[in-house]
A and B are shown apart, each in its own frame.
Chain A
């Protein structure tokens, strides 16, 4: 049986039209005008124990709404959610014991207190046995280097330190599942790498199932084998990252710098996906046209100053799926 099961999940928000001023606020208590918005529509997926899944989509796609329903913060409009056998919104407090949650942009630590105090408070809140607490603190301090700032008030921590403290805090009570909402947002390259290493480690060593939302495709590429791609509240793709790469595997991107004045640039057999002045990004299928043919075409009409050939980036692939859907792609390429 799967650890997380989501079946035909819907979440509809009623958005009240705001009325001005205090009078309006009071009036709106009794009478309101609503418009509805479907944040999540008919989402279904299952996650097995020990999996690490990237849950991605553009802003407003319904990522956070789904996570909130899985953590019990939000009650679904309809559909089924089970997390390790529990229905989160019905047994929210019980569910809280088996999950860890990190919201990248909002700390869960006590702002004015040294980091260590937050850990002690969470020990109380989750009733973590002394021995287990010490053991976990030792492990996390070791990997995340917490000692250097344990006695510093959280408000004075750097973002990287705060995120390290936050993720350690979310794991103190040995959750079965860890929800990470943008865990690397705003971090520098080194801090991101450190965070990813830690996430990989707790997944591997402790078997913690990880659900991760992110905008950084490197997070997905380095952490997740599987990704669920959503847009407008619907699942666009659910499967292995490798398969997407394979589908796009026949694609190459040619980047050319042209000399002189260039107007209305277009080339048969390739699609212009981006341009910056005289630098053009051209996507082509290497089975339909070879790179040298393409370069020949271009040099017949323009003078090439410089060129590079690249594999498409994951980000480009995903943007393509958002724009055209996965189906169109499978038809075209496979």
Chain B
């Protein structure tokens, strides 16, 4: 068990290294990708600033608190992209028949597919979120101790929650062959939703992103705890649960992906 885990990690690192070398073959695209994403997020941050300039605060959230909320989501999305963004192209593999290769090798197909690409395009997300979190941290005069653990838990949980959803969306390709569209229809709206405090949305949406697609655990709930804010509907305690929710949600998503794989094995397309 331990041995196979070690072998898995060893192989993942090896394949990740190869994948980085492959991506560095296109240096221009590589740099532009990073800059492009960093600029996109900076743009959203500026929109927030403009918004708050006229309103002062949004549901009791000040500008730097909003930036923190936003940057926390971008940070875990960045980590998620590194590991799971490759799943967005699963439908391509299925359409042109190259997915079969993962089934004729003595490695778990999920793991093998995941290890095929270690997406360094996410450095743009890191660039933006690390700068933004640092600025927010000093502007809000925060002095964390145990909160760093909650922060780390939020990043891990957020990675698993968003990664899980990417995995589920990709698995739809096992049934419908095309899943790219679903990414834009499901993933993108939820991610945009989470850029602002949950309290501004109707109750239905709050319930949905807490108990069904647990995006609230990506940034809003941990931020409540980390920024020492109160909410009518949630106790700050919920913010610690991110990693737990993440592991559970990801496990369910993985089961769903395996179900899709079984279907692929009976239809071959």
Binding site for B on A (CB under 8 A): 13-14, 22, 25, 28-29, 65, 68, 71-75, 89, 92-94, 96-97, 99, 101, 103, 105-106, 108, 110-113, 117, 120-121, 124-127, 153
Does any Cβ of A come within 8 Å of B97's Cβ?
yes
Tell me, in angstroms, the Cα distance from A331 to B21 when the chains sit together.
Answer: 64
Does any Cβ of A come within 8 Å of B203's Cβ?
no
In this complex, what residue of A is CB-closest to B179?
Answer: A25
Q: Which residues on A sit within 8 Å (CB–CB) of B211?
A: none
Q: Which residues on B sit within 8 Å (CB–CB) of A99?
A: 104
**In the complex, are the beta carbons of B22 and A96 less than 8 A apart?**
no
Q: Which residues on B sit within 8 Å (CB–CB) of A92?
A: 103
Q: Which residues on A sit within 8 Å (CB–CB) of B176?
A: 25, 28-29
Q: Which residues on B sit within 8 Å (CB–CB) of A71?
A: 103-104
Cβ contacts A to B, 12 pairs, < 8 Å? A14-B267, A25-B176, A68-B268, A73-B265, A74-B265, A74-B268, A92-B103, A93-B105, A93-B108, A99-B104, A103-B100, A111-B22
Q: Which residues on B sit within 8 Å (CB–CB) of A105?
A: 97
Does any Cβ of A come within 8 Å of B127's Cβ?
no
**In the complex, are the beta carbons of A121 and B18 less than 8 A apart?**
yes
Tell me, in angstroms, the Cα distance from A117 to B24 when the chains sit together.
Answer: 14
Interface of B, helix, strand, loop or mixed by DSSP: helix
**In the complex, are the beta carbons of B14 and A124 less than 8 A apart?**
yes
How many residue pairs between the two chains, A and B, have CB atoms under 8 Å in the bound complex? 82
**In the complex, are the beta carbons of B98 and A125 less than 8 A apart?**
no
**In the complex, are the beta carbons of B22 and A113 less than 8 A apart?**
yes
Does any Cβ of A come within 8 Å of B96's Cβ?
yes
**In the complex, are the beta carbons of B22 and A93 less than 8 A apart?**
no
In this complex, what residue of A is CB-closest to B10?
Answer: A124
Tell me, in angstroms, the Cα distance from A65 to B269 when the chains sit together.
Answer: 11
Q: Which residues on A sit within 8 Å (CB–CB) of B108?
A: 93
Does any Cβ of A come within 8 Å of B107's Cβ?
yes
Does any Cβ of A come within 8 Å of B266's Cβ?
yes
Q: Which residues on B sit within 8 Å (CB–CB) of A73?
A: 100, 103-104, 265, 268
Tell me, in angstroms, the Cα distance from A14 to B266 when the chains sit together.
Answer: 9
**In the complex, are the beta carbons of A125 and B268 less than 8 A apart?**
no
Does any Cβ of A come within 8 Å of B25's Cβ?
yes
In this complex, what residue of A is CB-closest to B181?
Answer: A22
**In the complex, are the beta carbons of B106 and A96 less than 8 A apart?**
yes
